[in-house]
Amino acid sequence: MASDARMTAHGATLTSTSTRHDPWLDQYAERTRGLSSSAVRALFAVASRPEVVSLAGGMPFVSALPMDAIAETTARLIRERGHVALQYGSGQGDPALREQILEVLAPVGVESHPDDIIVTAGSQMALDLVVRVFCDPGDVVLVEAPTYITALSVFSSYQCEVVHVPMDELGLNPDALREAIARVRAEGKKLKLVYSIPSFQNPGGVTQTPERRQEILDIVSTNGVLLLEDDPYGLLSFDGSVPRAIRADDSQAVIYLGTFSKTIAAGLRVGWAVAPHGVREKLVLANETAMLCPSNLTQMMITDYLATSPWLDQVKVFRELYRERRDALIDSLENHMPPGTSWTVPTGGFYSWVDLPPGVDSTAMLPRAVAARVAYVPGTGFFADGQGRHSLRLSYCYPEPDRIAEGVRRLADVVHAELDMLDLFGPAIEASQKTAAIAPASDMA
Amino acid sequence: MASDARMTAHGATLTSTSTRHDPWLDQYAERTRGLSSSAVRALFAVASRPEVVSLAGGMPFVSALPMDAIAETTARLIRERGHVALQYGSGQGDPALREQILEVLAPVGVESHPDDIIVTAGSQMALDLVVRVFCDPGDVVLVEAPTYITALSVFSSYQCEVVHVPMDELGLNPDALREAIARVRAEGKKLKLVYSIPSFQNPGGVTQTPERRQEILDIVSTNGVLLLEDDPYGLLSFDGSVPRAIRADDSQAVIYLGTFSKTIAAGLRVGWAVAPHGVREKLVLANETAMLCPSNLTQMMITDYLATSPWLDQVKVFRELYRERRDALIDSLENHMPPGTSWTVPTGGFYSWVDLPPGVDSTAMLPRAVAARVAYVPGTGFFADGQGRHSLRLSYCYPEPDRIAEGVRRLADVVHAELDMLDLFGPAIEASQKTAAIAPASDMA
């Protein structure tokens, strides 16, 4: 039953023809039942055509990196230390990099020890390992409503029960969090993790204030629940003021996930977790089991980059670039979207969350948007329980500002057309649009 | 109970002090119970000192690679295609690399389609994903006796029941395989996979003949069991004759795992699986959940290397180099080991399996060997059921031939000393040496 619920709530709707003839279909594990290709995935294949403005993907704008400098240091690295860079490494990650991660953590206020850091193949892998280490089937994870799509895939993959906790304009709502903890425990369920993205939340675009963070920390500490703090965008604030991580104020109640994907390069697949010591030990063993070790080469590339480049200056370049794009998005939304549409104005990060006028269904609208050469991620993908039909996520990280403006114009036209349809045919349209929740391809989100 | 059995059988024996004070100790998942640091792991930290000859690790000799050429092509790659190499990529892996993998598969006789290949962060990750996709707790996996250590960690991590099937000098024994399948099914258990390393087996050093492979394929096909064929060493035969993969003769009954770790560079973490189409679809979704995508940069480095270097000539260099080291190992064993010791003579790959004289316990002997400045992996690590106490694995891939000879001389002295002790004190020593099976650090194996 739990597995069926997951399928409708968060898995996808279409099964491809080839899967129907899969001779091993009755051999898969229970956890695999929630895994199948979605209709949205096929749409995104179309959306990747150059004529489509994609406001869907969360790809950082890596072209702004100093390619020549990276090329040169990488070549020297391979010439001089190739016998290490091209060899197996440590399951916990390169010791030199773990030292440097402490410096990268300084702006968010996190103090730790290299021994309590584990390097992973992107912070996605760290997230997967944390859930692997903590969650049995049926264990409950509390997440923001909405939350990061591929975190939902991880929770589903380990057969967790996902319970959404509402957010307000300051992020995760403390009263709702207290209620959810009490309710889950009253139901006799095992609560394992609270998963939160406090800064420039994906997909909500909201950021917890310092007071809000303190209150959330108090709640998890008082209740003895582990907080999984995911912080990929922390350094990418538009006014340069970096939000203090929740982990900065408690080393035992929080596992902190960080990544170089947004500040350096996603293609290197290097992220990390800072975890209480006993947990870190388990994570290293799980990392070794899953992939032996992360790539020495890409870790050492980051080590060299941090040591030889003005990397914080480069982060400033990214901040300016993304701020300009955020402005382009918000200005265009203000100028073109019909009344009844609302959106968050992010102060950092990659995303804005848009609530459509009543009656407009973002999943049903997507094929028409792609036909109009603009793509977004429908809201239902960010929920495990079917919410989000009237919302969508727009990302402004990758396209140039004028393309963003053009994309929003196209999107506004599509929304206007949806409203005209609703005027003509009324709520019958809305009822016929009731489709199951559909998750997009995870690499798009 | 199953979980306790795993702990004694394959997990480790020592729990570190810090873990004892872990405030989250009662929160871990069932699957995590089998995960704890081993005593052997601490020993291997000592064994990594330069004065110790390590015949333990399975590190390829990457110093033989053309570092200057790799440095140059990598620099050009970053300069010219950095915006792709440093960006997120496909969860299935780079399409160009999947095309090239078809060429790499030609020598082992495997014909496939790029769409049925998935690229992973090393073949370890492919192994983990296959088990994730197929195995529920309690499902049975049949493996060779002995088998690859970190495969056992994966099976344990997904709470599989591991059943060992004896090998003979031609590898996995067909009669024993038939019996094991019948027995497992008679017990009403779900048999999900047969895991085999047909060529230059790790740790056994044996290779299945073509007739043996055909017989094993017939058995799994007749019984409707999926064969997981792990082939990291296939191209590294010493006479240059590459064994034909089992997958070459059946595309539906076999999942084939390959890797560039032994033919190019382990530090790039690039491996792959060739799977029946429906299975491959599941593996891609699982890969995206676990780590979004493998590194574009390291995949493209391999793409460039395969396209621009005489990579098969480099494989020949590796073959010659490892053959010379195999010879050094076998000659030294013949010259120095006491009567009653026997070993396999591998015709390719990295390892020889050594059976010690009656009464000598390889786990109990290890601290004395490390004190004598030689390291190996004790036999128990390669079994899930406590077998292997009187055996050990020697690897000859990494040290220079004269160091190998010196290492074997030291090891022979230690074995002689053990025999002297046994002569003096008799079987009382042996009884006191009965320790639980201990798995070494996976990155050593």
Residues of B in contact with A297 (CB under 8 A): 265, 267-268, 298
Q: Which residue of B has its CA nearest to A227?
A: B24
pLDDT digits (tens, 9 = 90+) for B368-400: 999 999 999 999 999 999 999 999 999 999 999
Residue A226 touches chain B, beta carbons under 8 Å: yes
pLDDT of amino acid A37: 64
| Start-to-end C-alpha separation, chain A | 28
Strand partners of residue A355: A342, A391
Q: How does DSSP assign B286-343, residue by residue?
A: HHHHHHSS--HHHHHHHHHHHHHS-HHHHHHHHHHHHHHHHHHHHHHHHHHSPTT-EE
CATH of domain A2-64+314-444: 3.90.1150.10
Nearest Cβ partner of A268 from B86, B252, B267? B86
Closest by Cα among A154, A55, A47 to A353: A55
CA distance linking residue A55 with residue A59, whole number of Å = 10
Query: Which of A321, A349, A343 lies closest to A412 in space, CA to CA?
Result: A343
Q: Do domains A2-64+314-444 and A89-308 have the same CATH topology?
A: no
Minimal CA–CA distance to B303: which of B85, B60, B86? B85
CATH of B2-63+314-444, one of 3.40.50.720, 3.90.1150.10, 3.40.50.620, 3.40.50.10300: 3.90.1150.10
Which pLDDT does position B207 carry in this prediction? 98
Buried b (16+ CB within 10 A) or exposed e, A396-427: bbbbebebbbbbbbbbbbbbeebbebbeeeee
Q: Do B32 and A134 touch (CB under 8 A)?
A: yes
Tokens of B162: 């591991």
Per-10-residue mean pLDDT for chain A, 445 residues long? Answer: 30 40 92 74 75 93 96 98 96 97 98 97 98 98 97 96 97 98 98 98 98 98 98 96 97 97 97 97 95 97 96 96 98 98 98 97 95 96 95 96 98 97 74 44 41
- CB-based contact A245:A108 (threshold 8 Å): yes
- CATH number of the A89-308 domain: 3.40.640.10
The DSSP secondary-structure symbol of B276 reads -
Structure tokens at A260: 């170089």
pLDDT of residue A240: 85
pLDDT tens, chain B, 445 aa long: 233 322 222 333 333 444 458 999 999 999 998 776 666 676 677 777 889 999 998 999 999 999 999 999 999 999 999 999 999 999 999 999 999 999 999 999 999 999 999 999 999 999 999 999 999 999 999 999 999 999 999 999 999 999 999 999 999 999 999 999 999 999 999 999 999 999 999 999 999 999 999 999 999 999 999 999 999 999 999 998 999 999 999 999 999 999 999 999 999 999 999 999 999 999 999 999 999 999 999 999 999 999 999 999 999 999 999 999 999 999 999 999 999 999 999 999 999 999 999 999 999 999 999 999 999 999 999 999 999 999 999 999 999 999 999 999 999 999 999 999 998 887 655 545 444 444 444 433 4
pLDDT of residue B1: 29
pLDDT digits (tens, 9 = 90+) for B413-439: 999 999 999 988 876 555 454 444 444
Spans of all domains in chain B = 2-63+314-444, 89-308
CA–CA gap between residue A379 and residue A354 (Å, rounded): 9
pTM recorded for the entire structure:
0.92
Residues 302-321 of B with CB under 8 A from A: none
Using CA atoms, how far apart are residues B56 and B44, in angstroms rounded to an integer? 9
Comparing C-alpha atoms, which of A85, A89, A84 is closest to residue A287? A89
pLDDT reported for residue B47:
74
CA B11 to chain centre: 17
Count the Cβ atoms, other than its own, within 10 Å of residue A16: 15
Residue in B74, B282, B443 closest to A292 by CB: B443
Q: Are A169 and A346 in contact (CB under 8 A)?
A: no
Which candidate from B35, B84, B121 shows the least CB-CB separation from A286?
A: B35
Element (H, E) at A427: helix A427-432
Tell me the two tokens of residue B358.
């009656």
